[in-house]
Structure 1
Amino acid sequence: MDSVEEQPSVKVEKTASNLKEKPDSYIKGMILSTAVLILFTCANNSSIPLFTQYIHSRYEDMYSNGTHSSSTNDQSPCHGNASVEDNDVEVRVQQSTSSEILKLSLCFQLPPVFVNMVVGSYSDHIGRKMLFLLPMLGCTCKYIGFLVVVKFNLNLNFLLIGTLLEGFSGSIFTFILANMAYAADVTKTHATRTFAIVITDCSVSVAMALGQIMTGFLIQKLDYFYPSVIHTTLILLAIAIVIFGITETVKEKEVKELSPVVHLKKVFGFYVNKSRDNKRFIFIVCVIVFALLSIGLSGKTTIEILYQLGRPFCWNPVKIGYYGAYSTVFMTVSGIVAIKLGSKCVRVEVIAVIGMFLLVASLILEGLARTDAMLYSVPFVASINSVAFPVTRSVLSRMVEAHEQGAIFSSMATIDTLSAAIGSTGFASLYRATAGTMRGMAFHVIGAVIFIAAILKMLVIVKLPRQPSYEQILSPPEDEKDPNLNQNHYGTFAKGENNTSC
């Protein structure tokens, strides 16, 4: 990707009076926001393996009549002889754990659907810091609730309280919205904006890998209480950086219109507004692709650890952490390499489609896996699938004006939240229903969802040449003097990207 040179002069965004002057350099802002992103994502995403394994351990203890303590030893039904009784116990543990995860998923994924409908649009007026702080405070509440349950061995339903508070804070979806909107604010050109969005997505992947491998070791060595203390500390550090380090990119002023209806129109007007007729097809299809990807990947995340805990794998926390780190890092690096090298030959949308088809193949393999080797080959097959999300986000971001960035990312966050709720609940229920018969079936259904997304993405690529007005997107004033930006094509991802020959 292109290196980004700092501009000596300060420029004012003419299309958005509520945005502050562009900073002399966006490097400082991106470094601080990336640090916050890594700290929070590392802590927040660690709750998935932490909660799943703790709940699984509690149900093992319950169904094994107390012979398995709620910790990390290997005396579980999964490690016993393959008797009918052991198999029945293991299936009951899997089903009960998936039911509990389903309830938690509903608590932290349904409330953000309503929160994210308007919060991004409001942030275009009252600032981005709010978007950073709300989900971090909510996640802190979730971990405090988890600490209390673990410390006093309370009923698992008490986990719902902290999780609900996180949900009403907007959860991880609002935090991603904050990072995307902030990246759009501090970048000066479309090219650097896309680069910043990709870096943001890659930072999420790196943080997830760190969190997964760290959580595996911490659970193995310290049980479940102290890892949650460490993750809470990371979140508090991220809050301090936001409050004292990050500069607000939007002028603090009163919102002109407080009615949520007005902001809902701003958020979803991109897909229904007649004035955008020439772009509506691209808007709608890109959002459908985005939604299908979110449904599939959230479903995969929900059931994957549970799948690894059961037969025939019976993985411990360290193996789960290793696998999570390996798969995340490998697919992220593969995606960056594919974008850097492949964009010199083909459009990035083509690379995204290839990544989706590879993801479908990996999901089929994962559902059929019976050995550790087969499971470890899944990320290798999936390889470059990580480019699909940032490509879609970048396309939608470049289609709107600077003062609409909060609204467009709010619409994506809302759709992402709703889709994640559908994916998590739907595939958790499917996994529960098939746990005793065809446990890998859920992965095959997820593969079908991703396959549909890939077909729709191909339709976008075919139709784009027929959308002349889409290619004539108005750019901010600072883009007009950018020699590295091809302004006659919407898909500029990096220098030389539209060159169709290697």
Structure 2
Amino acid sequence: MGSPEYTNASESTPLLPADHSMKGRQFSTSRARTIIFFVHLISTSINTACSILLAEYLVQRIGDDAGYINLTSVDHCTSNSSDPNTKHANEVQQQATDLLTYLNFVQCFPAICACFLVGSYSDYVGRRLILLLPLFTAFINYGITSLVIGFNLDLNFLYLGFGLDGLTGTWVARLVVEFAITADISVSKDSRTLWIFLLLCSGSIVTACMTLTTSYLIDSVGFLYASLVPTGMGLASFLVPLLFFQETLAQKPEVRVWSPMFHCRRLFGLYVTQGSRRRRATLTVCMFIFVFAVASEMKRETIDSLYQLHEPFCWDARRIGLYNSVRAGGGNLLGALWLTLVKICLTPETVGMIGVLFQTFAYVFEGLISKSWQFYIVPVLLAPATVTVPIVRATMSLLVSGDRQGALFSSIAVIESVTTLIAGTAFTEVYRATLSTVPGAVFFLTAGCGLIAFILYIFYFIIREKPGTENETSVDHEKDASKTDINS
């Protein structure tokens, strides 16, 4: 990415041996890249918007079902703790938080199982089919949410949509295939790092616009019409790749293995048997950095929305939407500017390490906020942290041969699903438990994740293996290991 560590003669050469190159490919690189960016922009933005919409809807719906009239508009901020409105608001938020936690379980448990297989299967059957499955179930999930809102159905119907989405790996499986496709069409080291970063950060502006639009629609026309927008966009994100996306996997194995155990071995072999010991150790430390960097972002939109709805802030839907737009759009744009400025003199890993440090400071600050205007400082503090996860993903991708990119990103997805389940549940439960005493306490927990990631970066710099080192030897070793797996 422009740092001294990566500027060498091998930057313009493919990562893969000749037989795994893109020679003779039957697809348009520009079309594949355009469609993947379209899918990522739409899917990421509506996923964020729906998280915010659902959190606000559940607060209103549970309050209405309990007979509390328009609780979200009651000015309980000026009331004391014994005021009935304040007590009712706390009860409703606790019930909404519980339901969001259960939905998280229903979605994440099957997603973890699915993510064991999706990436490795995509190395065998191709990327296209594996991409379409989570896009379709996401659309069904959004549709069921709209039906629940529109017909005032029992909230238990939400479990059906979330469970179905989890069976195909949900948004995590989609990201796996997106990264694998990016690796397929980006064969040089600089190109792969750049495009993975751009893919992860490009959704910021669309996400900002989508969250702002959703919040204004909630205030203007209600939850039903606000939910129909992401449902329609979800349908578009499925139909476009269904009709126009071409397979990007350059070469499918002649022998296709369907055994789940074989594909699980391919995942964990990256960290246990394949490559040098230093390379395996580097991958393992990178994975732990990824876990704690991602954990601090889990359920961020949901908890932020609940936090801002509560006293002493008592924000409405429009204000929450405006803030999330600033945080999603402005924060990522500032992060891109930050990376552009510092990559000249710092390596990507150093930039990532600085990012998790800023992440720690930002969440400590958010936990101490007492005035509404102070929220807008948080995106500025978090800007350097927006590049950390893309850098870690790209670093790990460069350490693995091209025929195992799907397996690598699948292993990352498994860990990300587990992290989503554990961290998401932990954070919502901490928020629920501290709601009536210190609502901002949950942000100190997320700050701790950033601090752990910073410490792990120190270990990374001690044991790391630079991308490109012993590349040919590692690739040959992986080929032999693959043959052994098939024969077994």
Give TM-score, length-normalised by structure 2: 0.89
Q: Distance in 2 between matches of 1:203 and 1:468?
A: 27
* 1:378 and 2:381 matched: no
1:275 shift after superposition: 4.4
Q: 1:36 to 1:309 in 2, by over 3 A?
A: same
Residues 238-247 or 441-450, more deviating:
238-247
Q: Larger deviation: 203-212 or 237-246?
A: 203-212
Matched, 1:106 2:105: yes
Change (3 A) 1:22 1:197: farther
Q: 1:61 offset after TM fit, Å? A: 2.1
Shift of 1:371: 0.9
* Equivalent residue number for residue 40 of structure 1: 43
Distance in 2 (CA, whole Å) between partners of 1:415 and 1:344 is 32
Verify: 1:67 aligned to 2:69, yes or no: yes
Alpha-carbon deviation of 1:78?
3.8
**1:255-287: per-residue Cα shift (whole Å, max 9, x none)?**
621111110010111111164312111111100
Alignment partner, residue 404 of structure 1: 404
* Corresponding position of 1:438: 438
Any conservation in 2 of the 1:434–1:441 contact (CA below 8 Å)?
A: yes
Specify the code of the residue in structure 2 equivalent to 1:190.
K
Paired residues of 1:348 and 1:391 also in contact (CA < 8 A): yes
Distance 1:55 1:468 in 2: 48
* Whole-Å separation in 2 of the counterparts to 1:204 and 1:475: 37
2:423 maps to 423
| Cα drift, residue 476 of structure 1 | 12
Match of 1:277 in 2: 277
- Determine if contact 2:27/2:247 at 8 Å carries over to the other structure: no
- How many residue pairs align between the two structures? 462
For residue 144 of structure 1, report the CA deviation from its aligned partner: 1.9
Residue 126 of structure 1: how far off its partner (Å): 0.7
Q: CA contact under 8 A between 1:279 and 1:470: conserved in structure 2?
A: no
Q: Structure 1 315/285 Cα, relative in aligned 2: closer, same or farther at 3 Å?
A: same
Q: How does 1:5-16 map to 2 (within 5 A)?
A: 14=17
Amino acid at match of 1:143: Y
Distance in structure 2 (CA, Å) of the matches to 1:16 and 1:29: 21
8 Å CA contact 2:283, 2:396 repeated in 1: yes
Q: Assess, with a 3 A threshold, how the Cα gap between structure 1 residues 254 and 76 changes in structure 2: closer, same or farther.
A: farther
1:46 alignment partner, SS class: helix
**Matches for 1:102-251 after TM superposition, within 5 Å:** 102-250=101-249
How many Å apart are 1:60 and its aligned residue? 2.5
Match of residue 31 from structure 2: 28
1:392-440 CA deviation, whole Å, 9 max, x = no partner?
0001100111111100000011111111111110111111111111111
Partner of 2:471: 473
Task: Give the direction of change, closer, same or farther, for the CA distance of 1:278–1:15 in structure 2 (3 Å limit).
Answer: farther
Greater displacement, 289-298 / 386-395: 289-298
Question: 2:254 and 2:471 mapped to 1: Cα distance?
Answer: 30
Single out whichever of 164-173 and 87-96 deviates more from structure 2.
Answer: 87-96
The 3 A distance-change label for structure 1 pair 255 and 60 is farther
Aligned residue in 1 for 2:319: 319
Does the aligned pair in 1 maintain the 2:399–2:467 contact within 8 Å? Answer: no
Gapped regions of structure 2 (runs ≥ 5) = 3-13, 476-488
- 2:63–2:70 CA contact under 8 A, matched in 1: yes
Give the fraction of aligned pairs with identical amino acids, expressed as a percent.
Answer: 27
Tell me how far 1:138 sits from its aligned partner. 1.1
Partner of 2:59: 56
- The amino acid that maps onto 2:73 is Q
How far residue 336 of structure 1 moved from its aligned partner, in angstroms, is: 1.4
| 1:287 pairs with 2:290 | no
Q: What is the CA–CA distance in structure 1 between the aligned matches of 2:422 and 2:414, rounded to whole Å?
A: 12
Measured in 2, the distance between the counterparts of 1:403 and 1:471 equals 18
List per-residue Cα deviations over 1:281-310 (Å, max 9, x = no partner): 111110011111222210434411111111
CA distance in structure 1 between the partners assigned to 2:29 and 2:409 by the alignment: 20
Per the TM alignment, residue 15 of structure 1 is displaced from its structure 2 partner at its CA by 5.8
Q: CA deviation at 1:338?
A: 2.1
